[in-house]
Amino acid sequence: MSAPHRAATGPLHLLKSNTRYFTDGSGRAIFLTGTHNWNNFQDTGHRADTGHLCGHVCGDNVWVWKSSTRGLNVLFMEELTPSPTWHDSARVGMGQVRLFCERVNLAELTPHEALASTAYCLAKPGLEYVVFQPGGRGEFSVNLSDGAGAFAAEWLDVNRDTTSKGETVEGGEHRVFRTPFPGPAVLYLKSTGASR
């Protein structure tokens, strides 16, 4: 799941088409994520920030994906001391989300809790869906009623940081998915524009 990283340039401004995200003037949506300490934090609005939510006692890869699929920019409160290993999973999770954000049409995606039984879904209904399954291996449904035709599927194993191709599915109705591995998972669905 590698995508070329393009650093934002210049000052960031709210993206007019989707004010949950920022732009550097290029027109592309930028997912703002990172770490901070109390000396360099400035509140910008749509964010999930461990410093304000729970101090230094939370923030793992599951929290990152839950927050991101609810349309929040993730900030991780860093301690200036050696960190526990679960902090490392938050950093990996932020990197995973950043890579996804470079692949999807982020400016068009908005949170749609009702489209997935997990309640963690960014979507442009009918075209593109990023769904997070926070638990272990299990079934969940996604409402693809707004999308006719086929959807390509890709799975991300959040704990192992690996992707695998899923079976193509037909839109037009609710579909049930089963995670192909244990642990938290991300399902990425994108319309192929074709019928099967």
At a CB cut-off of 8 Å and minimum separation 6, what does 79 contact?
A: 37, 56
Does one domain contain both 18 and 69? yes
Does one domain contain both 116 and 176? yes
Q: Rounded to 5 degrees, what are φ and ψ at 194?
A: -125, 155
Does one domain contain both 21 and 48? yes
Instruction: Give the DSSP per-residue string, 119-149.
Output: S-EEEETTTEEEEEE-SSS-EEEEE-TT--S
Higher pLDDT: 142 or 51? It is 142
The pLDDT, as a whole number, for residue 29 is 75
Does one domain contain both 72 and 152? no
Q: What's the pLDDT band for 80 if we cut at 50, 70, 90?
A: low
The pLDDT, as a whole number, for residue 144 is 98
Does one domain contain both 118 and 86? no
Does one domain contain both 127 and 156? yes
Q: How many CA atoms lie within 13 A of 95 on its CB side?
A: 14
Distance from C-alpha of 149 to C-alpha of 166, rounded to nearest angstrom:
16
What is the average per-residue pLDDT within 33-55? 46
Higher pLDDT: 55 or 181? It is 181
Provide the token pair at 50.
Answer: 């461990």
Higher pLDDT: 45 or 169? It is 169
**Longest alpha-carbon distance in the chain:** 55
Higher pLDDT: 97 or 144? It is 144
Number of folded domains that form the chain: 2
The pLDDT, as a whole number, for residue 95 is 85
Q: How many CA atoms lie within 13 A of 23 on its CB side?
A: 14
H helix count then E strand count, the chain: 3, 14
Residue-range definition of the domain harbouring residue 73: 13-106
pLDDT digits (tens, 9 = 90+) for 95-135: 899 888 888 988 899 999 999 999 999 999 999 999 999 98
Closest CA to 160 of 107, 97, 89: 89
pLDDT digits (tens, 9 = 90+) for 11-34: 776 677 776 667 777 777 766 655
Residue 196 lies in a domain: no
Q: Is the pLDDT of residue 163 over 80?
A: yes
Residue 96 lies in a domain: yes
Q: Rounded to 5 degrees, what are φ and ψ at 94?
A: -65, -35
Provide the token pair at 110.
Answer: 């908005």
Q: What are the C-alpha distances in Å from 51 to residues 22, 43, 47, 192?
A: 21, 11, 11, 41
Q: Which of 106, 133, 165 is the last residue of a domain?
A: 106
Kindly give the residue spans of alpha helices, DSSP state H, lying in 73-181.
85-103
